[in-house]
Amino acid sequence: MGKNDKGIREGLVSLRRHVETLNVRHHNKDPVDLLRTMIEVEFPGKIAVVTSFGAESAVLLDLVARVSRDVPIIFLDTGKHFSETLTYQQTLIEHLGLTDVRNNCPDPSEIERSDPQGRLWQESPDHCCHLRKILPVEKALRPFDVWITGRKRFQNQERAQLEIFESNETHVKINPLVLWDETEVADYLRERDLPRHPLVEKGYPSIGCAPCTRAIKSGESLRAGRWSESEKTECGIHKAAWAR
């Protein structure tokens, strides 16, 4: 093993130990106290939020805004979003007073080379997500040590074992809402009188890119409308090699 490989491995071990410590030390904090500690004490200036401005995004963004409206908010502008999502983004920015929302787009040269007709979502959805989400979020997160997500255990089976803190090859990941259930999310949206994504009322409880998202049918799971014509269940930003 070379010195560089040894250094990388030692860095990964250190990061995982740090995450274990964070889970022990902060697991019983409510989301606002947790976020305040992370933003102001543990990782000041090195933390960002990654959000889709989707069906439940207002909850996480409101919790963050209660601590600081200036935390960087990373949005992956894939070029394939519903127009309602882009309108909703502006609604939430104004409602919450967010000051640092960053729209991160895919590399135009990559899109021209790999998806000139804009149909890659149909031919290879994994490749499409790689170009339009994974590569942009990897670049956007380079200045940061930590990213905050809105993932929750109840959303699907793959998320059922999530912890509040995770580690990957490069970052600490924080899931402050991981233990919330569907009722708690709905109650918070109502109690805080937060604007709702306009597609929620039309049967879209989980909202991604327009070509790969449909309304769900009665009795279907919350994310059944995502990539429903394939076995794909996640866009991949949490599964990419650098993000695991």
What amino acid positions are annotated as catalytic residues?
Answer: 235
Measured over the CA atoms of residue 166, residue 172, residue 175 and residue 176, the dihedral's sign is positive
Q: Where are the alpha helices (DSSP H) in the chain?
A: 3-26, 31-37, 57-67, 83-96, 108-114, 120-123, 125-129, 135-140, 182-191
Residues with Cβ within 8 Å of 191's Cβ and at least 6 positions away in sequence, in order, are: none
Tokens 């899109």, residue located: 111
Name the DSSP class of 81: B
Distance CA 212, CA 214 (A): 7
